[in-house]
């Protein structure tokens, strides 16, 4: 025994071919502590699943098996890296490996794993080097997305049973699966600087750095811990801190940038990634719309286009197709602005409350959007820190995990006519009016969740109609029903799907070209931590954060959860 | 009664690129041009290198009938820049040849617009020297 874990000497046995140990969860495994074992040489992998027999009634079933090393059989020492054995079961209904079970060896990750020995559980077969934590008593669930896969073929379920909507454990439905792509990632630090219409004495760099330092402090980390940066000013941050050489991304925009940082951690390119963004001092010509709303382009600029007009052309088409009304859109704006009214740090804190009539009587900007249905312009910074999930356990905040994420694009924003029916060959059944649907479907499939599981809808709200569109696009309601859906009592605080709970871009902040895109994620994290200063959704476990919109021909989706996937 | 009319102020004017130059040359000549695919016959706009329907690079310029119907619209009251006179009415027009383009409405009052309104292209040369297509209701 080494560290409580049985190990074998190199060459002592053919590690890939030993039999299953039915009693491995029994007394001889008790009292063991999490630890590491040494690997076999890689030739020991993989395992022939078909060589191992079916589960029998003699197999032991142990209650309350926690994710820990459990005296795994077959562990073997090796020269340098970590190896573990993961046993797994496959049950009826799981396709080609019907009724089979087997063992699996994996190497390369220094973290404790559990021996999975549940009679009715399933864990996935990941790529080599990715042992996974298994949970006993995870049920194979039906439900949403059972025939879908996320991009890498993984399905992930909720480990916790008893949640409404039923057990959604779906790993193993079909082909062998890898570990969840963001299993190793946690969001541990967030920070919004002060947000205001104008932040005197700041520019993009100073407010971005303030956000960065705030998020690092919130994470309980030091600047020296950062070994990856995302965002245009990340390079400045790493230079000034002399923290290089490190991984860097120039991705600037919200969820795709965050996912890139998460992937850097998941793939081992970085351990702790900082994504900071900020805007101040760039909007000075106030007679014009903000510079980020009117990119120069030969096919739109001469016609006076800017974001409100682009999104209005999408909304108008929906009104034509489905009879969506100005009152329904104004209701969305009133709800979101009232959320901001109640938020102590919102730019428009205390500026409400607003009624539908207030919204409809505000001046028209771009028909059908009145002033109170449009994003504001403001200044501010925001930042997020991600690190490895195993490290998150030692940090002060409740870690928040990425359950799924995706990005849908139909082209560059604001250069081509924003045609609702613009299609594409990847998904002939979808149009730009529902951009984000594919991303949502894949995110839900990756998480093993569906719209009913979402507790908080931190939807990006550049214009009121976009909320209606997103509820349709993501499958919360049918196409054309979004207007009725948002006025049915579901999006208000206390409703089934409360939306944009800090006031969003209409009332919390829109601090430049990119800051506000990250702030949906920050608000989702606040909700899952349970630390919202206002409009806290009690017991929130899953938050859906989004960015973009049909008028910009893109939508990004991120599913956050409290449970490690 | 105030008819919508082309913008005459110091608005941002298009700077043609290599691919789009024939489109703007057409406007200057009073022709609304689009690209027709020599492989599949599909129409493409905005000016492109690849056919939107089959990805062929065999795109040939054709002259549109200039007729279409309003697919979507908005009336703008808060201008992009002070150079624009409000209101103005950006449209997406579905052209007879099966392509979509964006331009502003002229020649009628702003509240005459609706989805399905038949329109026809009309050209206006801006004081800056660039000829822009607009759309007016078909009579």
A299 pLDDT tier (thresholds 50, 70, 90):
very high
Per-residue pLDDT tens digits for A34-52:
444 433 333 333 333 333 3
Q: Is B102 a residue whose pLDDT tops 60?
A: yes
Residues of B with Cβ-Cβ distance to A299 under 8 angstroms: 14, 20, 46, 101-102
Mean predicted lDDT score pLDDT of chain A? 77
Q: Which residue of A has its CA nearest to B128?
A: A302
Q: Is B124 a residue whose pLDDT tops 90?
A: yes
Can you tell me the distance from the alpha carbon of A139 to that of A120, in angstroms, rounded to the nearest whole number?
7
The count of CB pairs under 8 A between chains A and B is: 116
Binding-site residues on chain A for chain B (CB distance < 8 A): 285, 287-289, 294, 296, 298-306, 308-309, 312-314, 316-317, 320, 363-368, 371, 415-420, 422
Whether A523 contacts A515, CB under 8 Å? no
Q: Is A101 a residue whose pLDDT tops 90?
A: no
Per-residue pLDDT tens digits for A514-528:
999 999 999 999 999
Beta-bridge partner residues of A382? A192, A277
Query: Cβ contacts of residue B36 below 8 Å, gap of 6+?
Result: B42, B43, B44, B59, B60, B61, B62, B97
pLDDT at A286: 87
Residues of A with Cβ-Cβ distance to B15 under 8 angstroms: 298
Contact status of B78 with chain A (Cβ, < 8 Å)? yes
Per-residue pLDDT tens digits for A268-289:
999 999 999 999 998 888 888 9
**Is A416 within 8 Å of B74 when comparing Cβ atoms?**
no
Is the ipTM of this structure higher than 0.95?
yes
Q: Which residue of B has its CA nearest to A291?
A: B80
Residue of higher predicted confidence among B12 and A54: B12
Give the one of B13, B90, B101 whose C-beta lies nearest to A305's C-beta.
Answer: B90
Q: What is the mean pLDDT of residues A177-182?
A: 84
Q: Which residue of B has its CA nearest to A422?
A: B100
A178 pLDDT tier (thresholds 50, 70, 90):
confident
pLDDT at A177: 56
Taking each helix axis as running N to C, give the angle between helix A307-322 and helix A464-473, from 0 to 180 degrees, rounded to the nearest 10.
60
pLDDT at A296: 82
pLDDT at A417: 96
Give the one of B12, B92, B101 whose C-beta lies nearest to A302's C-beta.
Answer: B12
Q: Which residue of A has its CA nearest to B19?
A: A298
List phi, psi (to 5°) of A395: -105, 160
**Is A312 within 8 Å of B74 when comparing Cβ atoms?**
yes
Q: Which residue of B has its CA nearest to A300?
A: B102
Percentage of residues in chain A having pLDDT higher than 90: 65
Q: Which candidate in A283, A284, A285, A302 is best for mutational testing of the B interface (most B CBs within 10 A)?
A: A302
Q: What is the mean pLDDT of residues A217-231?
A: 97
Q: What is the mean pLDDT of residues B52-62?
A: 97
Residues of B with Cβ-Cβ distance to A416 under 8 angstroms: 46, 102
Whether A383 contacts A276, CB under 8 Å? yes
Can you tell me the distance from the alpha carbon of A397 to that of A464, in angstroms, rounded to the nearest whole number?
33
Q: Is A99 a residue whose pLDDT tops 60?
A: no
Query: Cβ contacts of residue A37 below 8 Å, gap of 6+?
Result: A2, A3, A5, A7, A69, A72, A75, A76, A77, A82, A83, A84
Residues of B with Cβ-Cβ distance to A420 under 8 angstroms: 72
Whether A375 contacts A461, CB under 8 Å? yes
**Is B74 within 8 Å of A320 when comparing Cβ atoms?**
no
Give the one of B20, B75, B80 whose C-beta lies nearest to A289's C-beta.
Answer: B80
Residues of A with Cβ-Cβ distance to B90 under 8 angstroms: 303-305, 309, 313
Residues of A with Cβ-Cβ distance to B103 under 8 angstroms: 303
Contact status of B52 with chain A (Cβ, < 8 Å)? no
Q: Which candidate in B78, B93, B115 is best for mutational testing of the A interface (most A CBs within 10 A)?
A: B78
A293 pLDDT tier (thresholds 50, 70, 90):
confident
Per-residue pLDDT tens digits for A448-478:
999 999 999 999 999 999 999 999 999 999 9
Residue for token pair 């995302």: A230
Q: Which residue of B has its CA nearest to A371?
A: B78
Contact status of B12 with chain A (Cβ, < 8 Å)? yes
Other CB atoms closer than 10 Å to residue A469's CB: what's the count? 27
Whether A155 contacts A142, CB under 8 Å? no
Min mean pLDDT across A291-305, A462-476, A530-544 is at: A291-305
**Is A363 within 8 Å of B20 when comparing Cβ atoms?**
no
**Is B78 within 8 Å of A417 when comparing Cβ atoms?**
no
pLDDT at A137: 30
Q: What is the DSSP string of A320-377?
A: HHH---HHHHHHHHHHHHHHHHH-TTSTTTTS----HHHHHHSPEEETTEEGGGB---
pLDDT at A22: 29
Q: Which of A347, A396, A403, A356 is nearest to A375 (CA)?
A: A347
Q: How far is CA B116 from CA A71, A320, B95, in A?
A: 72, 10, 11
Per-residue pLDDT tens digits for A64-73:
333 323 333 3
**Is B74 within 8 Å of A367 when comparing Cβ atoms?**
yes
Can you tell me the distance from the alpha carbon of A124 to that of A135, in angstroms, rounded to the nearest whole number?
12
Contact status of B99 with chain A (Cβ, < 8 Å)? no
């Amino acid at each position: 025994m080494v560290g409580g874990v049985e190990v074998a000497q190199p060459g002592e046995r053919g590690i890939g071919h030993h039999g299953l140990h039915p009693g491995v969860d029994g007394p001889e495994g008790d009292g063991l502590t999490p630890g590491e074992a040494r690997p076999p040489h890689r030739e020991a992998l993989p395992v022939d699943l078909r060589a191992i027999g079916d589960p029998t009634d003699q197999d032991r079933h142990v209650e309350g098996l926690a994710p820990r090393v459990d005296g795994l059989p077959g562990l073997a020492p090796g020269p340098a890296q970590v190896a573990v054995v993961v046993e797994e079961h496959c049950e009826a209904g799981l396709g080609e490996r019907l009724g089979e079970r087997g063992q699996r060896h994996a190497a390369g990750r220094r973290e404790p794993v559990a021996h999975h020995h549940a009679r009715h559980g399933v864990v996935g077969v990941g790529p080599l080097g990715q042992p996974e934590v298994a949970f006993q008593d995870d049920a194979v669930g039906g439900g949403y997305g059972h025939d879908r896969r996320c991009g890498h073929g993984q399905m992930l379920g909720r480990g916790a049973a008893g949640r409404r909507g039923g057990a959604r454990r779906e790993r193993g439905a079909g082909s062998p699966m890898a570990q969840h792509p963001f299993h190793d990632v946690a969001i541990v630090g967030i920070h919004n600087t002060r947000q205001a219409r104008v932040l005197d004495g700041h520019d993009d760099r100073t407010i971005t750095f303030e956000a960065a330092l705030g998020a690092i402090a919130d994470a309980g980390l030091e600047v020296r811990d950062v070994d990856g940066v995302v965002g245009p000013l990340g390079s400045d941050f790493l230079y000034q801190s002399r923290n290089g050489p490190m991984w860097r991304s120039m991705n600037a925009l919200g969820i795709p940038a965050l996912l890139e940082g998460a992937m850097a951690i998941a793939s081992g390119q970085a351990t702790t990634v900082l994504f900071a963004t900020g805007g101040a001092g760039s909007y000075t010509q106030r007679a014009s719309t903000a510079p980020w709303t009117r990119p120069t382009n030969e096919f739109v600029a001469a016609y006076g286009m800017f974001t409100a007009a682009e999104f209005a052309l999408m909304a108008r088409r929906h009104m034509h197709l489905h009879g969506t009304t100005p009152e329904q859109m104004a209701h969305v704006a009133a709800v979101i602005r009232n959320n901001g009214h109640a938020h102590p740090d919102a730019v428009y804190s205390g500026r409400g409350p607003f009624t539908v009539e207030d919204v409809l009587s505000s001046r028209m900007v771009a028909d059908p959007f009145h002033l109170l249905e449009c994003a504001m312009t403001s200044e501010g910074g925001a930042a997020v820190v991600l690190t490895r999930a195993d490290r998150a356990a030692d940090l002060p905040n409740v870690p928040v995990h990425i359950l799924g994420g995706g990005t849908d694009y139909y082209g560059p924003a604001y250069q081509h006519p924003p045609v609702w029916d613009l299609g594409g060959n990847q998904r002939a059944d979808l149009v730009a009016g529902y951009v984000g649907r594919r991303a949502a479907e894949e995110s839900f499939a990756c998480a093993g969740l569906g719209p009913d599981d979402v507790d908080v809808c931190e939807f990006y709200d550049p214009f009121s109609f976009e909320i209606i569109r997103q509820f349709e696009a993501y499958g919360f309601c049918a196409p054309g029903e979004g207007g009725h859906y948002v006025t049915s009592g579901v999006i208000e605080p206390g409703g089934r799907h409360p939306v944009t709970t800090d006031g969003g871009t209409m009332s919390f902040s829109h601090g430049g070209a990119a800051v506000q895109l990250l702030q949906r994620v920050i608000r989702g994290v606040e909700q899952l931590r349970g630390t919202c200063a206002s409009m806290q959704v009690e017991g929130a476990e899953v938050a859906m954060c989004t960015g973009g919109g049909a008028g910009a021909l893109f939508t990004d989706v991120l599913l956050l959860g409290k449970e490690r996937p | 009664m105030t008819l919508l009319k082309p913008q005459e102020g110091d608005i941002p004017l298009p700077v043609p690129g290599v691919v789009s130059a024939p489109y703007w040359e057409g406007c200057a000549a009073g022709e609304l041009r689009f690209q027709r695919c020599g492989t599949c016959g599909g129409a493409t706009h905005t000016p492109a290198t690849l056919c939107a329907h089959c990805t062929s690079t065999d795109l040939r310029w054709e002259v549109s009938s200039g007729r279409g119907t309003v697919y979507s619209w908005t009336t703008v009251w808060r201008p992009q820049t002070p150079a624009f006179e409000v209101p103005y009415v950006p449209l997406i027009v579905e052209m007879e040849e099966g392509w979509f383009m964006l331009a502003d409405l002229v020649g009628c009052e702003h509240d005459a617009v609706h989805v399905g309104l038949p329109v026809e292209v009309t050209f206006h040369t801006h004081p800056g020297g660039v000829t822009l297509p607009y759309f007016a209701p078909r009579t």
